Amino acid sequence: MSQNEARYTVRSLIVTAIVTAVATVVMLEASGKIDHSDNKDHVPVGDFQAIHVTPDEPFRMSPKASELHAACENGFLAIAADVDPSFRGILVDYKNRGVRCSRPTPTAPPVPEVEESGSNG
């Protein structure tokens, strides 16, 4: 390989790519093109999975507890952060239906309707 072909080293190309990416993010941030939303109403609290538990089969779960806790809100299960209790959300299924805290009985009064956030009246 001649001296004319080896103009740039691999290290200089990698450094150039990293500097370009950082400069792009800084410029987008400075010009206000990156939107940081402070509205907690439309941010999912988390992504959850249900584990089917049977008496004869053990299930695997992390021994470390999450930083969330559950509470009953207007008859529905709510998940809240331990560090910020105001950051909470109602647990819903894949069709956006609320998960009840307990099984309803036929003689129980109906669960009150929950207003959707973001409605203007």
% helix, strand, coil for the chain, step of 5: 20, 15, 65
Q: State pLDDT tens for residues 11-37.
A: 999 999 999 999 999 999 999 888 777
| DSSP secondary structure of 3-15 | TTT--S-HHHHHH
Give the pTM. 0.47
Q: Is the pLDDT of residue 2 over 60?
A: no
Domain boundary assignment for the chain = 1-36, 39-113
